[in-house]
Amino acid sequence: MNHFQALMIAAAVSGSLSGQAQASIVFSHSGNTDPTTEGWAVEPVAFFLDQRPTATPVSNDQGSGLNAWSIDDNSTFIGTNWFYTQSPSTAETTQANTLGWALRANLRIVDTPDAVGNAGSIILEYANGTTAYRLALGSEADGDPMALLWDGGVDPNNTLAATGTLFTLQNGGAGYHLYEMVYDPLVDSVDLFIDGVERISNYAGVSSSLFNRVAWGSASSSDTGQSNWNQVEFEIAAVPLPAALPLFFSGLLGLGWIGKSRRHSAPQKR
């Protein structure tokens, strides 16, 4: 359990005792609602408008009972993309850097197989003006999802292959999975959770001063992929860690969590 997870639990315990709000969700997308009606902007593209990916609502996806927003990037043209962005305020960015944040998405990778390409045909990203944290997603032939925390590089032997830390969820299947990047400000790094279990630790992100944004969807250059997004949330912690720690430990003792295995305990999808 990292410091940010401890902070989140402490915030939850504090909120239940004092009535104060716990970590706050700043941006979100839900179901098959058009993201542009939820405050998201579609990232503009400079050229090849006729080759741009498409976005459509999906109801009861494959009988799962889940609604989603589907983004289908079937173009190999460079410069085509379709992803949604919102930008935190200066105060929100400072709060996220200081207290911690979590960016999560519940989604299904439709195409199998689907390579994790250079720009990432399926991405989830938070960039704070100095560092970008990008999760690129794909799938193996059997549908098992692949998750790559991008380090900013490209394989010199394959211009479509991004470099970074890759995790494949073996026997995970091609259904919906919850992906969460959780930032711990005390160690200045991100841990990746898939379906509530920590899969990659201590991701430092990529130095970048280009953007201050939350982004999700297709940022493909020449790779393809289709993804159905049931839920997206960007959450910022609201309780300073030093003040929260005593309550956190008393809360753990009361809940009997001391000694349990390392599992994800940041706030779950609503």
DSSP string, 106-151: EEEE-SSSB---SS-SSEEEEEESSEEEEEEEEE-TT--EEEEEEE
pLDDT bucket at 160, cuts 50 / 70 / 90: low
Pick from 196, 220, 53: nearest CA to 123: 220
Q: What pLDDT, in 10s, does the model give residues 68-120?
A: 999 987 666 566 678 899 999 999 999 999 999 999 999 999 988 887 765 56
Q: Count the domains in the chain.
A: 1
pLDDT at 97: 96
Q: Is residue 217 part of a domain?
A: yes
Q: In terms of residue numbers, what domain contains 45?
A: 3-255
Q: Is residue 270 part of a domain?
A: no
Q: Is residue 268 part of a domain?
A: no
Residue 45 has, within 13 A of its CA and on its CB side, a CA count of 20
Q: Which stretches of the chain are DSSP H helices?
A: 3-18, 90-99, 241-255
Q: What pLDDT, in 10s, does the model give residues 26-79?
A: 999 999 999 999 999 998 654 555 566 789 999 999 999 999 999 987 666 566
pLDDT at 47: 52
pLDDT at 76: 60
Q: Is residue 262 part of a domain?
A: no
**More confident: 251 or 175:** 175
Would you say residue 216 has pLDDT above 80?
yes
pLDDT bucket at 220, cuts 50 / 70 / 90: low
Q: Is residue 18 part of a domain?
A: yes
pLDDT at 143: 93
pLDDT at 267: 45
Q: What would the mean pLDDT of 209-213 be, rounded to a whole number? A: 92
Q: Is residue 85 part of a domain?
A: yes
Q: Is residue 37 part of a domain?
A: yes
Tokens matching residue 176: 């919906």
3-state secondary structure of 26: strand
| Mean pLDDT (the chain, rounded) | 80
3-state secondary structure of 5: helix
Would you say residue 14 has pLDDT above 50?
no
CATH number of domain containing 143: 2.60.120.200
Q: Is residue 266 part of a domain?
A: no
Q: What would the mean pLDDT of 19-32 be, rounded to a whole number? A: 81
Pick from 172, 27, 6: nearest CA to 100: 6
pLDDT at 162: 74
Would you say residue 203 has pLDDT above 90?
yes
pLDDT at 2: 56
3-state secondary structure of 242: helix
